[in-house]
Chain A
Amino acid sequence: MEEKVLEWDYEINGKDFRNAGKVSSKVKEILKELGFDPDFVRRVAIASYEAEMNVVCHAERGVLHLTISPEELRIVVKDKGPGIQDIELAMQEGYSTASPEIREMGFGAGMGLPNIKKNVDKLNIASTVGEGTVVDMLIKPSSIREFG
């Protein structure tokens, strides 16, 4: 059973808007190659993209860790950065502390975390102000596929 788990690590750099989105594209490609159903792939793509963008927009640097096991897919995005003071507030639609420059680039609508919540089965955010944030997401395929 143990060896049926697949894992990947991808680094994300804060403020690197040129490469922003590449990590979630890779995640998506892996899922397509493994033959997951399109709607599941779409949900994972949106959630991982938003988590990746939050590192790019709000933190210094981070790592996306992807685990695919027989039952579920887990994505943990851990960053070094300012952390989130009030997680409940951050989860509200439209709440954003993004700078005007970031907004000008079309980000910072305050819909990222709510969008993640909508697309995953389980979301856990842990954060220490001044140190960083861990966003832990579990996503289950709509029809659980047998990995054997």
Chain B
Amino acid sequence: MKRSYGIITIDEDRCQGCVNCIMSCRTEAIRIYEGKARILTNRCIICGKCFRDCPENAITAKTHGLEDLKNYKYTVVIPSSSLYAQFPGEGVANKVLCALKVLGFDDVYEEAVGAEIASIATQEYLKGYRGPYPVISSLCPAIIRLIQIRFPNFVDQINPIELPAEIVAKELRKVKAQQLSLKEEEIGIFYLVPCPAKMVAVAKTETKEKSYINGAISISDIYGQLLAAMREVREEENLQKATGTGIGWAVKGGEIRELERQRCLRSDMENIVVDGIKNVINVLDEIENGKLRNIEFIEARACPEGCVGGALTVVDRYVARGRIRKLMMEDERKSMIEREEVVKRFKQGDYFFEKGLKPKPFASRLDPDPVKAVEKMKLRDEIHSSLPGLDCGACGAPNCRALADDVVQGRAEITDCIFKWRERVKDLAEEVMEWAQKKPHSLPKRGR
């Protein structure tokens, strides 16, 4: 049986109910219930870490596939830059783009071009910025969700520039419709993504009414077909327009590298590149405490090494990072993007979120009613201190504290803890013994 949680699906026939996923989840969003993993969706940031850590590959995400192309008169694919890193060899980038056409897309347009535009927009935004620091990168949707849930204070400090793929899609839809004399809705724009976070960013965008992208397809889903298609590419059309500047966004540090190269970061402040959810939580925590100060910009990535470490990619993230870095270093072609044009459109407000992001602090709240929240916290702490503190996971929660939490929220029972359960059995056994030794007064004190 398959159980779905938004775009995420757990194949319960495969799930063995082991503790790998519950222990790996940094937001403690998974529990084992009746032998199967279940997701607490209000805590989940859809990063996909559990996809990788599940030994049975039971956790997946899907919204669209190649079968959806037929619903449109004309289709365009926007490949995420991490795609180039999935194949070895020099000059492979253009060949991959050509292979995408073999798979049935009518046109290909790179996310990395959008990244080059987004970078210029970000540079302009930082130049005129007068709000509180640090400004936090908006390129990782999992991090945006983490901030909405756990660091609601920082929501207004997220760089309000759209995802590169959305910037590209918005433009493409208009231009293609005109060129081909089609209605805008007859054009299907698909985004080839490295992670489930980008999938939801499209399916359930929070920064505009509706995404300019029609569907997201996972890189890993079409990897095999793409490999085969590459062998069919005879004559290469020149499709690669992006340069190392934009492609670099696929790896951690890529975004800041360009800001540094353009000398748009302030010399009297610092900037941070941080990857991995746990590390991001630590950094944001220290900033919130006032411990880390004087930071202008944070590039935070949920996946170690950046998007090349996404759960829907195929190649080892370290190898992939190496490949992208090669492209960044070797590729010194001049960007096709005209800075003046981008700056002009930035000033018109073209690249901004159309709708402000909202905080979602209720996810970490014990109860909407403050009185109840206080009561629950008292009880939770009591229960927590009565638990063995081994954080073994056998109860189905990732640690003793989380179990105590689940008990007060009515999601679990204290005897789910095997140690507590044994205590209860022992108490019961002792009570039974006590009763067994009792005799009616009618019988003599000794004997029988």
Main secondary structure of the interface of B (DSSP, over half): helix
Measured in the bound complex, the distance between the Cα atoms of B378 and A34 in whole Å is 11
Q: Which A residues are CB-close (under 8 A) to B365?
A: 32-35
In the complex, which residues of chain B have a beta carbon less than 8 angstroms from the beta carbon of A146?
Answer: 370-371
Let me know if B153 and A46 touch, CB within 8 A: no
- Interface pair A21/B370, CB less than 8 Å apart: no
Closest to A148 in B: B371
B287-309 CB contacts (< 8 Å) to partner A: 288-291
Contact status of A33 and B364, CB under 8 A, knowing A4-B374, A6-B374, A38-B359: yes
A6 touches B378 (CB 8 A): yes
User: A4 vs B374: C-alpha distance in the bound complex, in angstroms?
Assistant: 7
Taking a contact as CB atoms closer than 8 A, the residue among B153, B290, B291 that contacts A115 in the complex is: B290
Contacting residues of chain A (21-78) with chain B, CB-CB under 8 angstroms = 21, 24-25, 28, 30, 32-35, 38-39, 41-42, 45-46, 49-50, 53, 68
8 Å CB interface, B125-157 against A: 150, 152-153
Q: Given A6-B378, A38-B152, A39-B153, are A33 and B288 also a contact pair (CB < 8 Å)?
A: no
Interface size on B, residues (CB 8 A): 23
1/0 per position for B355-382, CB-CB distance to A under 8 A?
0000101101111101101100110000
Q: Judge if A145 is at the interface, Cβ distance under 8 Å.
A: yes
| B361–A45 touching, CB < 8 Å | no
Known contacts being A34-B370, A34-B373, A147-B370, is A24 close to B289, with CB within 8 Å? yes
Q: Is B285 an interface residue (CB 8 A)?
A: yes
B367 touches A49 (CB 8 A): no
- Shortest beta-carbon distance from B406 to chain A in Å: 14
Contact present for B289 and A147 (CB under 8 Å) = no
| Residues of chain A with a CB closer than 8 A to B371's CB | 4, 146-148
Instruction: Report whether A49 and B291 are in contact in the complex, using a CB–CB cutoff of 8 Å.
Output: yes
Contact A30 B377 (CB under 8 A): yes
B185 within 8 A of A: no
Q: How far, in whole Å, are A4 and B373 apart by their CA atoms in the complex? A: 11
CA distance A21 to B282 in the complex (A): 11
**A39: B residues at CB distance < 8 A:** 153
Nearest 9 pairs between A and B by C-beta? Answer: A148-B371, A49-B289, A35-B365, A38-B153, A46-B290, A38-B152, A34-B373, A33-B366, A21-B291
Chain A contact residues, CB within 8 Å of chain B? 4, 6, 20-21, 24-25, 28, 30, 32-35, 38-39, 41-42, 45-46, 49-50, 53, 68, 115, 145-148
